[in-house]
Every structure is written in C-alpha cells, then in structure tokens.
Structure 1
Amino acid sequence: MVNAPTVGLVVNPVAGLGGSAGLKGSDGADVQRAALDRGAVPRAGERAARAVRALLTARPDVRLVTAPGAMGEDSVRAAGGACTVLGPPSGAATTAADTVTAVRALAGADLILFAGGDGTARDVLDAGPSIPVLGIPAGVKVYSGCFALSPAAAGLLAAEWTGDTTEAEVVDLDEEQYRRGAVTPKLYGTLRVPAAGRKLSSRKAGSSGTAPGSAESIAREVVARMAPGVTYILGPGATTAAVGRRLGLATTLLGVDVVRDGELVAADVAEEGLLPLAEGAVVVLSAIGGQGFVLGRGNQQISPRVLRRTQDLLVLATQQKLAALHGRPLLLDTGDQDTDQRLSGHVRVITGYRESTIYRMENA
C-alpha cells in the first residue's frame, strides 16, 4: 500500500449478537431483542477494535476514517487511535441502510474494513464499493470468502497490503430456514479484497463430497468413548448430529445439545444455559469444511466462560475435510486470547471408528 494509507472502518454493532444466545443469527430487531434478553453482550465493536489495534501497531502512520459512534468511531477510540469521522450519525438501532450509507461515505479511502458477518457483507455489496474491502469476522455465521481469518489478521493484512486484489464471494443463508435446520447458502456476488493468501478465510465448503458412512463411523467412535456420569456438550453440524442419532436422541443439527449417560439433558442451549452444565464436561466439536474453524464460527454458545469449566475437547473431522485444508491448521477464534492459546497445539482428531490422526490447531 502507498505511504500513509487511508483505511476506512465500518462496524455493524449488532453483528454476532445472537451467537452466544443460540439464535443462529442476528438479523432483525426481534432477534436482537431476544438475544439481549438472553444475556448476550455486543462484541462486534470489541472485535473491530482488536483489528484497529493490530493495524496501528504495524502501521502507526495509517490515516483512519470511519462512521460515527458505534459504527466505527468508538472502536477506533477504544484501540487508542485517532480518526476522521464521515457520514451522518446513525440511529440507536442501526440498520442495513446505515451500513450502505457508511460504506459510500468512505469511498475516498484506499481500503475499507467492515466488522460483521455474512449479512453485513451483503450490505457492503449492496453499497457497490469502488475500492477494495475486507471483513473483520464478527458475525454468528461467516461463510463468505471476503473475511480475514480473525480480527487481528484483518488489521495485519490491511497494514501489509501492497495493492494487489482478488475477487471473493459473498454467501449468506436464510436465517429463518437456518433456525429450522435447513442450510441453504446462496451466492450474492463478489467483492474486491486484498490478495492475502492464508490470512484470508476460505468460503465454507459443504459436505456433499463426504463419503456416506464417514459421519456415522465417527459417531460410533465418539459413543464408544463416552464414559458413565460424564456430561458431553455436542456442538452444531452434521457430524455431531450423527453422534446424537447413534445415541438414539433427537438432537439439533445447528444448535448445541447436552447429553449424559445416553440421555438428552438439554437441547439447543444458549451460553447462559450451558454454564451450570459445563463443569467437568467434554466438548465435542466438528471442524467447518473448507475453513477449518473448530471454535468461533456458529458455536459461540460454547464461549470461553463455558470452556474454562470443561475438562476436555474432542475434535471430529472426516479425512476428506482434513485433506481439503491442504495442510492449513484447524482454527480457533473464541475472542479470548488466553483460551485460544491454551487450546492450541497438536490435537487428536477423530476421523472414523478406531481411527484418528494428530493435527495442528492454532489461534486464528
């Protein structure tokens, strides 16, 4: 990038709000109110501040332009930075239209960072930006390829960017169908993003190429390992759902369930509901295809607070999923550096019945 680059920042303050609340998204005022009622705390501004902090550390000469208040200015101030504020102030409850307005107001920047999830990426796409953009992952579901791996990676990528760009897909789900267990991703278009290699997140890959018996084989192994009296927290996904089927239980495909001694203790649990059940529990999670995330994407209910009470983590992935990573590590992005560092290292990944492999897992 040129000397003294100008980087814009747009934050969707409610992005990710429904994650810890188990609402599988944050779109719509009703969902946002429900998330707050369940004890959810907004985190998008904090994650944006982490990106800005990394950017300023690597490029202290950067000029920051941003939207007013919670849509960017607050995050820059929290990161200890100075900024020029452009665009009209948004209302108390921000909308997709506010994101579009903010992106257009920052059109004079060299690059725009935006904090949110796939819904926010769609709003940025609707703004029709003429300059490159880059997502700071802050949503519940981050399936699109226009995001950095983590907030810090977004800041570092912006600092190191030399001007080369590539096209990245914007993909989103219908949240109402998603809450009913139907995963129907749709491609909405592409955004121009920095060409960044491994700092850029891959688009989530489906499991259609997985051998039919793979998930059932993994589930058989997990159930064989289950000990009497131990609580198991099953994360979302088709592989963990197969564990529920193996136990003969009606677990949720996209929620977090709790089982003990072959019985369903709690279904589709939010973070607050998990806390009293997590002491000494074993967390069972599958990696996201194409991306490799184990924590921090679609399972925010299993928060650092919950993880601190558990005794172990079982990671599940088919051999096909691991092969598709082409040597890239499995990833952690809980939002808590200590938790991610504690869980990082070489872990045993269950890949089938009586089959496992050692694989690297890292803080994203």
Structure 2
Amino acid sequence: MITLGLIINPLSGIGGAVGLKGSDGTDIVEQALALGAQKKSLARSRQALQVIADLSSRFQILTCPAEMGEELAAEFGFSYRLIDADIAQTHTSADDTRKAAQAMLDAGVDLLVFAGGDGTARDICAVIGDAVPVIGIPAGVKIHSGVYGITPLATGNVIRSLLCGELVDVKEAEVRDLDEDAFRNNQVRARHYGDMRVPQHGHFVQAVKQGGVEDESLVLVDIAAYLCEEMEDDVLYLIGSGKTTQAIMDELGLENTLLGVDAVCNRELVGRDLSASQLLQLSSQYQQTIAVVSVMGGQGHIFGRGNQQLSPALLHQLGKQNIRVISTKTKIAALNGRPLIMDSGDPQLDQAWSGTIEIITGYRDHIVHTLA
C-alpha cells in the first residue's frame, strides 16, 4: 500500500484576495484576517483529493493535526495516522511545515503531497530536498515554482495516475520564491532555493514561471493602442496585473499598479490596487464591466496566479464575454500547443468556461486558443 504524506498550509494564499500580494509572516496573516480574508487552501486541497477518493483502498495517509491535514483526511474517510511532532493547532507557521516535512521524511512516505505557495514549497524543499518525490496543490498567491500541478484537479490526476500504476516520470523541478516586500513595491525578485523531484504526467505539472521581459515593446504598444481605441464610455475596465497590461495604463497616461488590479472608466483612474471585495462592490455600480488579463509566460494561466483579486464571484458576475485576454504571439507559441489555464478556485466555473477563448495579439489582431 502506498503511503501519501499530506501537509496543508491552512494560511496559504490568505493575502491574495485582499490585495496583500502574499501570506508570509504573522503580521500579514493578521492583516489579511482583519480585512475579512477567507482561508482557501483546505477547499483547494479538497478538490485535489476528491480525484482519488474512489481509490482509498490503495493508499494510507500520514498527515498533521487539525487544519494541516487531519480534518480533510477524516472528511473523506481515508485511512490515516498523525505524525509524532509538536505542531500548532491554529495559526501554523513555517516552522510547523518544516517539522511536518521532517517527520514524513523520517517515516519514509512514498509521495509527499502539500498545499501552499512558493513559501511552503521553500520550507519543504529545505527539509526534503530530492530525498522523496513531492507534488504541490497550488493554493498560494505567488506560485513561480515548478513543483505544483497546474490546478488542484491536475495535482489529483497526477496522484491518481501513480496510484493506478500508470507510467509516471519523476523529474527535478525548481523551487523559486519572491521577496514579498519588494513584490508589494512593484519589484519582482525571484530566487532559486533548490530542486525537488516531482511526478510528471502529461501537462498536469506547471512550468517554472519565466522571469525577465522580452523586447516586444512595439507589439505591446499595438495591443494597448487597440484596446484603448475600443474602450467605450461609462464602461468599467479592470486592468489586471503584469507588464503586458501595464502597456494599457501607459497608453492612457495613468498610474499603474504592476502587481495589482486597477479600475478605469472614461479613461480615468477610479480605483487602484483593489481587493476582491472592492472589485465586486465597484463592479456592481456599473452597467458593464470588462476585465483585461494577460497570459502568464511559461505556464499559460490567465486566472489564479497573482490575480486572485478577480474572484470567482466577480467572474460569475462579469461572464466570459466580458474578459479580454492579451498576449504576444511569442508567448503563446512558447506554450508549445498547451492550452491556457483557468484556475479561478471554482472548478465548476473553470469547467463552464473551458473550450476556446480569443486573445488580442496586436492592433486589430486576434487569435483563438484552447482554454482548459
């Protein structure tokens, strides 16, 4: 019988929807909770484990107390036991994650499954290294590391393939993390912290977030000029994060939040660096709202990576017809035929929007690409 280690960081991603751009540190967690942030990693872990629920006779789980794994294992009725380590019951920390990883390494788990973001991956990598295969359930704000499934369901599918005895490669993948303080000041500083061995199956495991910026300034100017020309009066435009969308704000001559979501109406700034609740409230005041998002280089995500402020509730309210995706053709070609990824946090919404979507790639230039 296969033994799966399960570590859930219950506070991972808690700062995303309220615009804090991270969850590292007690102060940020307390600030996020004070702003009304909701814990999401348990729900995302549930999505992943649901995929293997019918195979429970093939594995047992070694996990942590309470929110760090025990509650979910009990909910599914899985056979599980708890690690022998001094783990906090609430307000868990990076130290708790490292203690849990060490206990699972000592116990000799076959595969370590964890839910979190780059900070969680970094903590686990510091203990595990390449000693045990691992795979992450994406639940954080910033996910640049290549150790996560492209969605929680994708992570579940990789685990399922392993449990079913299918051929699953194991390859080294990078663990990368950002400096959150610099991130909040619109500076992207990613550092390589090590490598872990990750099961690979199809296109279920995400690539490392590509750093750097291509010299495609003329293409971005064309895209920005076209979008600004098409802007209608009295329509609210939500400009998503990233350097691609920054070109639109530059074209309008407006101040831009590189790593946040800004709101524009009648070519004027009506909101800066807005949280999920602020966006939902502001959008309800307009007859039409359009969200402009870019494609994450190397991975293909349009939702769920760095723009959690665009919540499932807001996306339901907008509808797929009010989404504008922008990208250079070079970035799309680099996906090598892989679809764009929607990881909104609501699997039913992701499924409903799957199929194809138009991408603006230049001045009056569009392509159609698959969306998974």
Asked whether the two chains share a fold, i.e. TM above 0.5, the reply is yes
The AA in structure 1 aligned to 2:244 is T
Partner Cα separation in structure 1 for residue 198 and residue 205 of structure 2:
9
Is residue 118 of structure 2 the alignment partner of residue 118 of structure 1? Answer: yes
* Preserved contact between residue 7 and residue 97 of structure 2 (Cα < 8 Å): yes
Residue 221 of structure 1 pairs with residue 226 of structure 2: yes
Q: After the TM superposition, which residues 32-181 of structure 1 pair with which residues of structure 2 at under 5 Å, given as runs?
A: 32-58=29-55, 60-91=57-88, 92-107=90-105, 108-129=108-129, 130-161=131-162, 162=167, 164-181=169-186
Letter in 1 for 2:335: L
- 2:313 maps to which residue? 305
Q: What residue in structure 2 maps to residue 358 of structure 1? A: 368
Residue equivalent to 1:184: 189
Distance in 1 (CA, whole Å) between partners of 2:77 and 2:343 is 23
1:124 Cα deviation after fit: 0.5
1:58 Cα offset (Å): 4.6
SS at match of 2:58: coil
The corresponding residue for 1:266 is: 271
CA gap 1:58/1:82 in 2 versus in 1, 3 angstroms: closer
Cα RMSD over matched residues? 1.4
**Aligned mates of 2:215, 2:337 — CA distance in 1:** 18
When normalised by structure 1's length, the TM-score is 0.95
Which aligned runs of 4 or more in structure 1 are off by greater than 6 angstroms? none
CA contact (8 A) 1:205 1:289 kept: yes
CA distance in 2, matches of 1:270, 1:278: 12
Question: Is the Cα–Cα contact under 8 Å of residues 46 and 75 in structure 1 kept in the other structure?
Answer: no
Residue deviations 1:129-160, cap 9 Å, x none?
52111111000011100111111211221121
Q: Does 1:208 align with 2:217?
A: no
Could you tell me which of 248, 253, 256 is aligned with 2:258? 253
How many angstroms apart in 1 are the aligned matches of 2:189 and 2:55? 39
What is the distance in 2 between the residues matched to 1:207 and 1:287?
14
**Residue identity matched to 2:182:** Q
2:64 is aligned with what amino acid?
Answer: A
Q: What stretches of structure 2 of length at least 5 have no aligned partner?
A: none
Give aligned pairs, total. Answer: 359
Post-superposition Cα deviations, 1:265-320, rounded to whole Å, max 9, x if no partner, equal 10000011111122331010001000000001111110011112225100011101
Alpha-carbon displacement from aligned partner over 1:4-24 (angstroms, at most 9, x marks no partner) = 211110011110000101111
Provide the residue aligned with 1:294 in structure 2: 302
In the TM superposition, what are the counterparts of 1:322-333 in structure 2 within 5 Å?
Answer: 322-333=332-343
Of 240, 243, 249, which aligns to 2:248? Answer: 243
1:341 shift after superposition:
2.0
Q: What SS class does the counterpart of residue 317 from structure 2 fall into?
A: coil
Which runs of 5 or more structure 1 residues have no equivalent in the other structure? none
Aligned mate of 1:346, from 331, 356, 363 = 356
Identify which range, 160-169 or 255-264, moves more after superposition.
160-169
